[in-house]
Amino acid sequence: MTGGTGALPRIIVLVLAVVGAVSLMVNVFDVEFGTGNYWDRHGVFFLLFITLFPRLTLLFSSVAAGGVLWWLGFIFTPRLLVALLATVAYWEANPVLVLLSWMVAFSGELGEKYVVSDRVRVVVLGESSAFHRRPAPHRGTTIEGEFRRMD
């Protein structure tokens, strides 16, 4: 699906997946989520900064830290780490805010992957020993170079 027509079904699937996963964790595995209210501990500015700058906010705030998985999430997928921490801490009191954090997490991670794939160009060596590049499906920055063999 392309464009805006596929956004609503994706959001519905995402919400159902998160709610289903949380339901399974609570009912089958007896996981207890925090009952704290987000608005008692944090404010609008923290929400803005954790959305726009997740790594910096996680690093310099009072958010729980530690463990190998936490650091892997911090390095590779900070938005998913924020959504997971929000689910564990605030699911009972603020489920809508938690669902929004998962939507931001998935849209941010997928958006980054799209931008990176849009910027990458593949240069292929042709038969005439000249370099040719394949036409790119998206516009972006192309870096061209000349390579010579040094004897």
- Kindly report, residue by residue over 8-65, the tens digit of the pLDDT: 787 788 888 888 888 888 888 888 888 889 999 899 999 999 999 999 998 888 777 7
Determine the structural domain holding residue 110 and report its residue range: 3-119
Number of domains within the chain: 1
Quote the pTM value.
0.65
Residue 106 confidence (pLDDT): 85
8 is a domain residue: yes
- Residue 138 located in a structural domain: no
**Residue 130 maps to a domain:** no
Tell me if 26 is assigned to some domain: yes
The chain-wide mean pLDDT, for the chain, equals 78
Q: Averaged over 87-92, what is the pLDDT? A: 88
Domain presence at residue 144 = no
129 pLDDT band, cuts 50/70/90, is very low
What residue has token string 């489920």?
A: 95
Range name among 12-16, 32-36, 99-103, 144-148 with the lowest pLDDT average:
144-148
In a domain, 134, yes or no: no
